[in-house]
Amino acid sequence: MNLGQEPVTFARGDRIAQLVVAPVSRVVWDEAESLDETTRGSGGFGSTGR
């Protein structure tokens, strides 16, 4: 992102860097043989029937 007032031009071979600082989540799965019925029904995640 160019936060300056002047345009910036990159040429082939210019060195630029990118970095995203973000947390890393570690997941521990809890596998189940079956699931209980829910109000969502067979529509799955996000299904409310509306």
Residue 38: HSE in the Cβ half-sphere, 13 Å Cα cutoff: 11
Q: What is the pLDDT of residues 23-41, one digit of tens each?
A: 999 999 999 998 787 766 6
- CB-based contacts of 43, cutoff 8 Å, min separation 6: 49
For the chain, what is the total number of helices (H) and then of strands (E)? Answer: 0, 0
Query: What's the pLDDT at 45?
Result: 67
**10 has pLDDT over 70:** yes
**6 has pLDDT over 70:** yes
Rg (CA), the chain: 24
Share of the chain above pLDDT 90, in %: 32
Tell me how far CA of residue 33 lies from CA of 4, 22, 30, in angstroms: 56, 34, 10
Query: What's the pLDDT at 5?
Result: 93
